[in-house]
Structure 1
């Protein structure tokens, strides 16, 4: 199948392209600066900007399906407006080009729970893409665990750098982290499931846990110890966003929206995608070890009890 990938220089897009090529798809990518893109062999590269109508029409020509993985959060506080315009421009061009299917990766979270500005923006983009001639498959996920994930990197740095943390109540919010390998598998395999065209599906890892547990387990894997985490009701998410900026090197434009979104539970409510794609999900600890690579602590050797030899 001829597919176009947008957002290819981002975390998910960078992992997705090699898998699409390995699956024998005819892959094209859209980038803003071709000179800055280190392209793998076997794909076509088009230069254009979704914020500039007409600059990317050629990339959509002949595409049967497209992945919409664009996100402007790193661009600054006006990211929601930029994402709104980019999605609107993409819909117009994709419909003109006759694209049949579009796949979008958005965020979990119930709209009735007053989503954060960041999650509201992701949901708004989803609604814009859904109001098009092409069939949209929207996959919603929580924190994605992998090397290069901004949300995981924020969690990892907090867990590793602070043996004792005074945190707001959001650390008790439930989430369902998923490994980047599993996200990519879903994104690739969905192309071959026509029943999922025009549907919204939710994806998550094998375990639901609190952000407190996510940080504790991550610290234990990386450093060999679990941090002491003390939730304090008076510490608001907004205040903790400034605290995260001081403790981690995650850009403020990224850290603040992510932290403010941690008040929303992000757990799979509808796992119907597994009726079509019952992939073997990666355990959280395995995903973290893959993400940190050589940064993982060597586990203590376990003693062999009597009778276990």
Structure 2
């Protein structure tokens, strides 16, 4: 089987590509600049820009399954419109080339009018990808824990830099984080489960925690014991400025992420557990691995 991975240089894609190779698949990695990408052995790099449909000519030829792992959240306030266009160009090119299946990693959260712009955009992309003839498999995840995750970096830096935190009330919002290794296992595993084509699944780790509990757990592994005091007066906008001040997460990324943390992100449908067997990683173990991989340096952008 030949598979195409978009976002191959990002946080998730960079780990998925070698996992697919190890799974015995022929892998094609889509990048805007192939000269700047050093693919793993056996991986073919192809150039293309999802915002330029002409650049996608021939990219999908011979591909059976295509992974969609890109988003434009760090590119400014118009990220939703860019994501919509990129997804439309992607699905049109995949459909034209006869791609049978698309696999998309989306965002976990209850559907409804209260979704943040970030999660609304993820759902819109999901809808666009489902509009073509390739059958779409969607995996919805909350915070992905790993070195390189922007969301995890934000939590890590807050936990590691402040001895006392006067925090917004969203620190009490429940979340079900998942280790990056488990996300990769699910992304690869659905290929061996044909019944997952055309379906949407929620994926999460074994622990449901508040953001406060996550920060306390991360702080503990960093050898710190911060005092966290939630208050009701910090709005999402003020919270975003607070995160920008304390962390090095870019404001164009921090703002939509913060506006999303007021939404509970907990798995309510765990059907995937009976289809793809993954030995889920406890949050503390996932944090330990992420901190070890970061090795004291700041994580790179490329995922959430």
Relative to the length of structure 2, the TM-score reads: 0.95
Q: In the TM superposition, what is the alpha-carbon distance from 1:121 to its structure 2 partner? A: 0.4
Choose between structure 1 and 2 for higher RCO, CA contacts under 8 A separated by at least 6 residues.
2
Q: In the TM superposition, what is the alpha-carbon distance from 1:63 to its structure 2 partner? A: 0.2
In 2, Cα distance between the equivalents of 1:152 and 1:259? 12
Other structure's SS at 1:112 match: coil
Q: Does 2:248 align with 1:275? A: no
In 2, Cα distance between the equivalents of 1:154 and 1:17? 25
* Deviations 1:52-88 (CA, angstroms, capped at 9, x unpaired): 0121132200000000001111111111010000001
Superposed CA RMSD: 1.3
Other structure's SS at 1:207 match: coil
Matched pairs, number:
296
CA gap of 1:295–1:167, structure 2 versus 1, over 3 A, is same
Aligned to 2:253: 254
Aligned to 2:132: 132
Q: In the TM superposition, what is the alpha-carbon distance from 1:196 to its structure 2 partner? A: 0.6
Aligned to 1:18: 18
Q: Does 2:36 align with 1:29? A: no
Aligned to 1:66: 66
Aligned to 2:183: 183
Other structure's SS at 1:60 match: coil
Instruction: Specify every segment of 5 or more residues in structure 2 that has no aligned partner in the other structure, as ranges.
Output: 297-304
Is the radius of gyration larger for structure 1 or structure 2? 1
In 1, Cα distance between the equivalents of 2:112 and 2:95? 31
Instruction: Specify every segment of 5 or more residues in structure 1 that has no aligned partner in the other structure, as ranges.
Output: 298-309
Aligned to 2:300: none
Aligned to 2:212: 212
Q: Does 2:227 align with 1:228? A: yes
Other structure's SS at 2:54 match: coil
CA gap of 1:294–1:120, structure 2 versus 1, over 3 A, is closer
Other structure's SS at 2:268 match: coil
Q: In the TM superposition, what is the alpha-carbon distance from 1:113 to its structure 2 partner? A: 5.7
* Deviations 1:152-203 (CA, angstroms, capped at 9, x unpaired): 0000000000111001110000000000000000000111100110000000
In 2, Cα distance between the equivalents of 1:285 and 1:127? 34
Q: In the TM superposition, what is the alpha-carbon distance from 1:112 to its structure 2 partner? A: 2.3
